[in-house]
């Protein structure tokens, strides 16, 4: 008798003899293969053809009996088709879902599915191996599936070389996130699970009613921007919101922003990021450190699931609709939404970091690598996104388009944007521009005068109509304030404005002239040919309180970052702050009065400066972080907006800030005068001025006006108040007033 496991797999008994070579089914065996193997006097013969295994039992001269193991036919969960290489990601269509992912160096690709329960059990529910002949077009792996995807998550496995010195980190045992995934099912720190998260399979049934929402398209010069953290804004108990620390919590408090006079919010990173990057016990505060700020992106297409009131329910799909609701409700109140995006690096770090997505999909494409596979670190966070590689720049463009068209955001602030101007790994002018450049000796990371990615974004028919703001520096020493390649539509964070204003207001000698230039829109940076439009189109007055909060800027001379658990070694040492005579929150009454004056001075300066002012969350009531200028790791009171403190300041500093933002809307605007080589403009009539300066009838009056506005006129600019008219005269540059044109 022989026991055989057939392809279909059920347990059956067959017998045969010398006279009858064809096996005859004699009985079913209700037992397991393991138990049969343990039967005495049975010998196991393994057949490695994957079709069956056989046992020969008590063979005799006359013949032998055979037991064949057959499993009942298994119903397939999905119908499998070749699929399409476009679009990238998982796309619901034609009654199924198309999956497409780029990986040029992988030898094989497997699509893995998991239910939430299987994800907890570290188990793959179903996996589909892709045929390189049928499921690969160029460097894109793709498959189309029909079936039941309810509560199903997915990820990929790729096989190929594991060769760090060659830039490859393929490991077929790891489940990776789809770079184009739109949402996630995620587990928390208490969950013992790998992978930590997986991608949501999209459904055509998820809809959202935008109620006719359209872009507000405010002129940039009219913006007053409020930088905020989604979780920190309403997480404190004093917010008394139904869903604290979520998108819905922010919706409940949008009227506060209207009261303040804000018409645009800049959201700190709310792409899906690695909140557990710094997760460890912090003995200083007796709590746990986490990545609170969010500058550690895992996926660029999905909103942060932990900011959703729905959390992990429905595989995280609630986060998408809650983010959309936030944008819609903000627009209803006349508030635009700008996102802080981090395309300079990802959460995967250097070679010692976790492999979550990009590294395992195609490391040598998505990251800037040195010749021996080392990671360039222009971001200061372990890796640098390979932004100007053709595949990566298309990825970034697709992402930005998605957030504009699908999520209705109004613009983007690009963290460490100078990295977006650096040459990619294996820079090749022929590959980038279509033809070689004579004398092109560019190496990886070299700053480019015409970066392909910036060119692509600037000339995109969808993106050129939104706000594009560059933090024009990086951690590799590249500083491009006033020099960022802008294509006539980009703005910059003006870091020099912040430093100069701090120095002047605290009383440092020698900064009066530079301070005056800051008030006038820094024409020394944004003028003469490079910046053709008005100054306020380009100067983004970075909030004066960057790093230190406004209150801490007048309370502390030095940083106090012990709560971070790094022995006060982290954070910026040069803050240009002044404690007004005593260090810390507790001080004498005269010192406290001086501090309040200084806070008003700072805020007034911000509101009357040409450019676009930015307020940081909590500064409107004087939030203090105890002198900590690097609160990246604190999900606690240090970073939470205190609504009780805001109420206490409602008739004091908050009142001052609200009135100043409203006054801001009546300030002068800067107009650009036509360029006439060899000539210069001089004022003649300005109806906003009192007599005798409304009409300049004498040389003395004209000389005084020219001196007063020299910094504008030298840059072919002139400030105008609303409901006013001006006449300027053009004179030869040799100051011959008799040759009036």
pLDDT tens-digit readout, 503-515: 999 999 999 999 9
pLDDT at 628 over 80: yes
In eight-state DSSP terms, residue 72 is P
Where does residue 430 rank: exposed (0-12), middle (13-18), buried (19+ CB within 10 A)? exposed
Weakest mean pLDDT among 9-13, 147-151, 270-274: 9-13
Output the average pLDDT for the chain: 85
H or E element that contains 557: none
Look at residues 378, 410, 401, 360 and name the one whose alpha carbon lies nearest to residue 167: 360
Look at residues 237, 233, 260, 252 and name the one whose alpha carbon lies nearest to residue 620: 260
The answer to whether residue 415 is catalytic is yes
Confidence of residue 221 (pLDDT cuts 50, 70, 90): confident
* Arithmetic mean of pLDDT, 603-624: 94
CB atoms < 10 A from the CB of 321, how many?
A: 18
The answer to whether residue 471 is catalytic is yes
Alpha carbon 268 to chain centroid, angstroms? 8
Weakest mean pLDDT among 129-133, 139-143, 188-192: 188-192
pLDDT at residue number 12? 42
Q: Active site residue: 183, 252, 277, 471, which one?
A: 471
Select the more confidently predicted residue: 127 or 12.
127
Which residue intervals of 382-428 are DSSP H helices? 390-405
pLDDT at 73 over 60: no
Look at residues 446, 411, 415 and name the one whose alpha carbon lies nearest to residue 428: 446
Confidence of residue 25 (pLDDT cuts 50, 70, 90): very low
Alpha carbon 699 to chain centroid, angstroms? 56
Where does residue 172 rank: exposed (0-12), middle (13-18), buried (19+ CB within 10 A)? middle
In eight-state DSSP terms, residue 653 is H
What is the sign, positive or negative, of the torsion defined by CA atoms of 224, 409, 310, 395?
negative
| pTM of the shown model | 0.82
Confidence of residue 409 (pLDDT cuts 50, 70, 90): very high
* Arithmetic mean of pLDDT, 397-417: 98
CA angle 690, 691, 693 (to 5 degrees): 80
* Arithmetic mean of pLDDT, 46-68: 44
CB-facing half-sphere around the CA of 726: CA atoms within 13 A:
20
Tokens of 648: 């206490």
pLDDT at 533 over 50: no
Which residue intervals of 65-104 are DSSP H helices? none
Tokens of 638: 């240090």
How does pLDDT run across 133-150, given as a tens digit for each residue? 999 999 999 999 999 998
| Domains, the chain | 2-70 (no CATH), 78-200 (2.60.40.10), 669-732 (2.60.40.1180)
CA angle 410, 416, 422 (to 5 degrees): 110
pLDDT at residue number 204? 77
Q: How far apart are CA 8 and CA 167, in angstroms?
A: 43
Confidence of residue 187 (pLDDT cuts 50, 70, 90): low
Q: How far apart are CA 228 and CA 253, in angstroms?
A: 12
Q: Active site residue: 183, 272, 336, 415, which one?
A: 415
Look at residues 275, 411, 261, 445 and name the one whose alpha carbon lies nearest to residue 341: 411
Q: How far apart are CA 58 and CA 17, in angstroms?
A: 12
Confidence of residue 430 (pLDDT cuts 50, 70, 90): low
Q: Rounded to a whole number, what is the largest CA-CA distance in the chain?
A: 133
Tell me how long the chain is.
Answer: 741
């Amino acid at each position: 008798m022989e026991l055989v496991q057939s392809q279909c797999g059920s347990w059956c008994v067959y017998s045969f003899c010398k006279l009858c070579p064809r096996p005859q089914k004699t009985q079913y065996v209700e037992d397991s293969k393991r138990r049969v193997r343990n039967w005495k006097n049975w010998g196991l013969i393994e057949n490695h053809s994957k079709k069956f295994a056989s046992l020969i039992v008590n063979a005799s001269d006359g013949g032998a009996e055979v037991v064949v193991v057959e499993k009942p036919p298994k119903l397939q969960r999905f119908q499998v088709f070749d699929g399409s290489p476009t679009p990238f990601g998982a796309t619901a269509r034609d009654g199924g879902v198309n999956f497409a992912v780029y990986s040029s160096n992988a030898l094989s690709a497997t699509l893995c599915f998991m239910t939430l329960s299987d994800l907890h059990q570290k188990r793959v529910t179903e996996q589909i191996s892709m045929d390189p002949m049928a499921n690969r077009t160029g460097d894109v792996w793709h498959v189309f599936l029909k079936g039941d995807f309810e509560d199903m998550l997915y990820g990929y496995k790729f096989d190929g070389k594991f060769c760090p010195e060659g830039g490859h980190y393929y490991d077929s045992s790891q489940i990776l996130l789809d770079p184009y995934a739109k949402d996630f099912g995620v587990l928390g720190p208490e969950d013992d699970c790998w992978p930590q998260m997986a991608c949501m399979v999209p459904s055509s049934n998820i809809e959202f009613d935008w109620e006719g929402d359209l872009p507000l398209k405010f002129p940039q010069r009219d913006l007053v921007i409020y930088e905020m953290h989604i979780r920190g804004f309403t997480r404190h108990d004093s917010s008394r919101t139904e869903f604290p620390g979520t998108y819905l919590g922010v919706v409940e408090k949008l009227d506060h922003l209207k009261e303040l006079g804000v018409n645009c919010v800049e959201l700190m990173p709310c792409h899906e990021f690695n909140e557990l990057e710094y997760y460890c016990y912090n003995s200083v505060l007796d709590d746990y450190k986490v990545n609170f700020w969010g500058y550690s992106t895992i996926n660029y297409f999905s909103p942060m699931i932990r900011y959703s009131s729905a959390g992990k329910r429905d595989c995280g799909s609630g986060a998408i609709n809650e983010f959309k609701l936030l944008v819609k409700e903000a627009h209803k109140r006349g508030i635009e939404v700008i996102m802080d995006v981090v395309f300079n690096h990802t959460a995967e770090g250097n070679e010692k970091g976790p492999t979550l997505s990009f590294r395992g999909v195609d490391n040598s494409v998505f990251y800037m690598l040195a010749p021996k596979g080392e990671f360039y670190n222009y971001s200061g966070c372990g890796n640098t996104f390979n932004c100007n590689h053709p595949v990566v720049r298309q990825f970034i463009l697709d992402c930005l388009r998605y957030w504009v068209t699908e999520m209705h955001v109004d613009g983007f602030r690009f963290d460490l944007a100078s990295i977006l101007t650096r040459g990619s790994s294996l820079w090749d002018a022929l590959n980038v521009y279509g033809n070689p450049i004579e004398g092109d000796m560019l190496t990886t990371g070299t700053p480019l005068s015409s970066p392909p990615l910036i060119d692509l974004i600037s000339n995109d028919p969808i993106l050129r109509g939104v706000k594009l703001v560059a933090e024009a520096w990086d951690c590799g020493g590249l500083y491009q304030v006033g020099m960022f390649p802008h294509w006539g539509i980009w703005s910059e964070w003006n870091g020099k404005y912040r430093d100069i204003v701090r120095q002047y207001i605290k009383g440092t000698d020698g900064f009066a002239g530079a301070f005056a230039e800051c008030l006038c829109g820094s024409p020394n940076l944004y003028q003469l040919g490079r910046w053709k439009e008005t100054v306020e189109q380009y100067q983004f007055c970075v909030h004066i309180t960057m790093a230190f909060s406004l209150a801490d800027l007048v309370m502390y001379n030095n940083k106090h970052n012990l709560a971070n658990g790094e022995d006060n070694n982290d954070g910026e040492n040069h803050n240009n702050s002044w404690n007004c005579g005593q260090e810390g929150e507790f001080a004498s009454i005269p010192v406290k009065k001086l501090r309040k004056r200084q806070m008003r001075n700072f805020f007034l300066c911000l509101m009357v400066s040409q450019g676009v002012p930015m307020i940081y969350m909590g500064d409107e009531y004087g939030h203090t972080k105890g002198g900590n200028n690097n609160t990246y790791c604190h999900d606690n009171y240090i970073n939470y907006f205190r609504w009780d403190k805001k109420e206490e300041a409602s008739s004091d500093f908050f009142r001052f800030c609200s009135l100043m933002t409203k006054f801001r809307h009546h300030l002068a605007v800067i107009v650009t005068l036509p360029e006439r080589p060899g000539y210069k403009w001089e004022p003649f009539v300005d109806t906003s001025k009192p007599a005798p300066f409304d009409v300049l009838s004498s040389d003395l009056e004209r000389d005084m006006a020219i001196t007063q506005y020299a910094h504008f006129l030298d840059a072919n600019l002139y400030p105008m108040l609303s409901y006013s008219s001006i006449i300027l005269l053009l004179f030869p540059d040799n100051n011959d007033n008799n040759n009036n044109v």
